[in-house]
Homo-oligomer: A and B are copies of this chain.
């Protein structure tokens, strides 16, 4: 076991070191460009502030990812040994690993923002660079990690399971270690960076909105530090919630985790009440806005579960369609993914409208008003508080998310080191819960991206001095078209990167099966390092172009067509990105779970026609749900943080 765990640790550390080196080089170039390009007549040091913030943001993001991976690769082997002892112990070890991960990521964001806020003299507009840097590094990390993990996973499945007929995580498969490394660099380090930038961007956006004259007049500096304090209560809530994660006899493990989340939510709600009393002058309408966010987070989790769990109608529909073949199965999967946007959008839309109304005591829904009106500013601050409410449970969600890859790894370690079947069964139970929590956190990630984006829009419009975005202007409509196009092109490149890498690795696995004598009999070991090498090189190579595309695209539009066109790009890019991310995450998860349902023995079970159809669907879903989908969460927020940081530059556009 030690040997396998070491191989995973070495592989993950080696990859992340190379990845962070690549990101650092590109980040340093951008730092210089930002410092030179950003000029503001009212503050000659704005460029320098933004550049320093950017570099720090990128560094902190990398560090958060690295720490998360560091903990994960040490928790997996302990979870594996725990599984030999019993389920409660294994659950607790895996969950605690995830919790350290969650607390670290959130604390680092809080620490970074607070220090910069104090150092830069208490003006949140000067620290937008930090948010941009965090998004920037997160995009590379999530995309690179996603390519790494899914290329290894897809090719291990296609050659190992389908062609050679050996089980998952079998030590005879040359790509198996690369697959396990991938879980750590993609799901752990990548998702950590994703949520690091999510809470960072949202915090900065909310603080900027606290500067709006009407809000500042009401709360003063309290309105600026409220977001930071709310984040602190999230940490406390998670620690309290964690005591409620244990396995009762016969209890569904998923319920153990849900119990922890609910307790966290309650503690956060109490925290919001206390904060409202002491910092927002007891204006309870803002407390209720915070509650709206917490409730919306819970509803989104429920909707994601409904559309992707195999206990529910939609995924069962996919399983049934699989009896007619792979094409009907995948078509139904696509339909389920598209349908899942319905309830989700209704919840998000209702949350925004309600929080806005609560913010200004239902004075007006904003028509005829704009960001210069007090009632509008109060309403927007209400939506900011709701976003904080939704994101307050982040550390707990991250803990649940980290739980997934840790148990996945533990299962792999047990399988590869030939441990007794009972231990593997325990880890399998944990793993299937991990799959569900991973789907939930992705839903949560998309929801928080949508809410943060609305917040960051408002901040952008305030910084750029825009009062509206007129879609009938040709450059705005063009910007809007480009916004949606960037999402599609990025997704295309991400999916293709996985496909190209998998194609190379498939050849390598086939070669090893053919050329290394005795590999199938377990007499000689496959050359794991070659597959690790293929994934590493390809991830580093293919992560650059799509990332630069979504960074440089909005900058080019802003420089040529001006801030209003960027507004169009932002609006449509955000909405398209949110929906495409949701589609890809949910299609992938639903197809995966339809397969698991059949593997549980229904509709003919393993080896049936229906099972073959779902295996194809699951393999197709992999790059959608673990590479393109989660990377799009980051893209959505990156579009917003770029434009926020670059707004002063866009005001002197070329063409308009």
Q: Which residues of A contact B (CB under 8 A)?
A: 154, 158, 162, 321, 324-328, 330-332, 334-339, 341-342, 345-346, 348-349, 352-353, 356, 364-371, 379-380, 383, 450, 454, 457-458, 461, 467-478, 480-485, 488-489, 491-493, 495-496, 498-499, 502-503, 506, 561-562, 564, 567-568, 570-572, 575-576, 578-579, 583, 616-617, 619-620, 623-624, 653, 655-656
Given A330-B330, A468-B470, A579:B488 Cβ within 8 A: yes
Taking a contact as CB atoms under 8 Å apart, the answer to whether B503 and A620 are in contact is: no
Taking a contact as CB atoms under 8 Å apart, the answer to whether B485 and A471 are in contact is: no
Given A328-B503, A485-B341, A471:B469 Cβ within 8 A: yes
Taking a contact as CB atoms under 8 Å apart, the answer to whether B458 and A472 are in contact is: yes
Q: Would you give the shortest CB distance from A159 to chain B, in whole angstroms? A: 9
Choose one: B327, B471, B483; the contact of A567 (CB below 8 Å).
B471
Taking a contact as CB atoms under 8 Å apart, the answer to whether A383 and B499 are in contact is: no
Closest residue of chain B to A359 (Cβ to Cβ) is: B474
10 A–B contacts, CB within 8 A, in A order: A154-B327, A162-B325, A326-B616, A331-B499, A336-B492, A338-B492, A339-B488, A349-B482, A468-B468, A572-B576
Taking a contact as CB atoms under 8 Å apart, the answer to whether B341 and A488 are in contact is: yes
Choose one: B469, B575, B623; the contact of A331 (CB below 8 Å).
B623
Complex Cα distance, B570 from A338, in Å, reads 19
Known: A450-B481, A469-B471. 5 other contacts (CB 8 A): A331-B623, A365-B655, A366-B656, A367-B473, A480-B575
Given A336-B492, A478-B353, A499-B331, A371:B325 Cβ within 8 A: no
Q: Which residues in B have their C-beta under 8 angstroms from that of A483?
A: 575
Complex Cα distance, B482 from A470, in Å, reads 19
Q: Would you give the shortest CB distance from A98 to chain B, in whole angstroms? A: 30
Q: Which residues in B have their C-beta under 8 angstroms from that of A620?
A: 326-327, 330-331
**Chain B CB within 10 Å, residue with most, of A338, A342, A370:** A338
Choose one: B475, B503, B506; the contact of A365 (CB below 8 Å).
B475
Taking a contact as CB atoms under 8 Å apart, the answer to whether B335 and A492 are in contact is: yes
Main secondary structure of the interface of A (DSSP, over half): helix
Given A158-B324, A335-B499, A496-B332, A367:B491 Cβ within 8 A: no
Taking a contact as CB atoms under 8 Å apart, the answer to whether B492 and A353 are in contact is: no
Closest residue of chain B to A577 (Cβ to Cβ) is: B484
Q: Which residues in B have their C-beta under 8 angstroms from that of A474?
A: 352-353, 356, 365-366, 379-380, 383, 454
9 tightest CB-CB pairs across the interface, nearest first? A468-B468, A367-B656, A338-B492, A327-B619, A349-B478, A468-B470, A366-B473, A356-B474, A339-B492
Closest residue of chain B to A327 (Cβ to Cβ) is: B619
Complex Cα distance, B474 from A379, in Å, reads 9
Q: Which residues in B have their C-beta under 8 angstroms from that of A325?
A: 158, 162, 616, 619
Taking a contact as CB atoms under 8 Å apart, the answer to whether A324 and B506 are in contact is: yes
Taking a contact as CB atoms under 8 Å apart, the answer to whether B331 and A495 are in contact is: yes
**Chain B CB within 10 Å, residue with most, of A450, A473, A475:** A473
Complex Cα distance, B470 from A167, in Å, reads 55
Complex Cα distance, B383 from A326, in Å, reads 45
Q: Which residues in B have their C-beta under 8 angstroms from that of A349?
A: 477-478, 481-482
Q: Would you give the shortest CB distance from A207 to chain B, in whole angstroms? A: 17
Q: Which residues in B have their C-beta under 8 angstroms from that of A352?
A: 474, 477-478
Taking a contact as CB atoms under 8 Å apart, the answer to whether A499 and B332 are in contact is: yes
Taking a contact as CB atoms under 8 Å apart, the answer to whether A470 and B370 are in contact is: yes
Given A461-B472, A467-B468, A485:B619 Cβ within 8 A: no
Q: Would you give the shortest CB distance from A470 to chain B, in whole angstroms? A: 4
Choose one: B467, B481, B493, B562; the contact of A345 (CB below 8 Å).
B481
Q: Would you give the shortest CB distance from A591 to chain B, in whole angstroms? A: 10
Complex Cα distance, B325 from A154, in Å, reads 11
Complex Cα distance, B486 from A339, in Å, reads 10
Complex Cα distance, B158 from A567, in Å, reads 47
Complex Cα distance, B578 from A458, in Å, reads 27
Complex Cα distance, B620 from A485, in Å, reads 24
Q: Which residues in B have their C-beta under 8 angstroms from that of A470?
A: 370, 461, 467-469
Given A328-B502, A335-B499, A571:B471 Cβ within 8 A: yes
Q: Which residues in B have their C-beta under 8 angstroms from that of A496?
A: 332, 335, 339
Choose one: B330, B369, B575; the contact of A572 (CB below 8 Å).
B575
Taking a contact as CB atoms under 8 Å apart, the answer to whether A579 and B485 are in contact is: yes
Given A345-B481, A503-B321, A488:B583 Cβ within 8 A: yes
Choose one: B321, B331, B454, B576; the contact of A576 (CB below 8 Å).
B576
Closest residue of chain B to A475 (Cβ to Cβ) is: B365
Q: Would you give the shortest CB distance from A320 to chain B, in whole angstroms? A: 8
Taking a contact as CB atoms under 8 Å apart, the answer to whether A495 and B366 are in contact is: no
Q: Would you give the shortest CB distance from A615 to chain B, in whole angstroms? A: 8
**Chain B CB within 10 Å, residue with most, of A380, A457, A499:** A499
Q: Would you give the shortest CB distance from A624 to chain B, in whole angstroms? A: 8
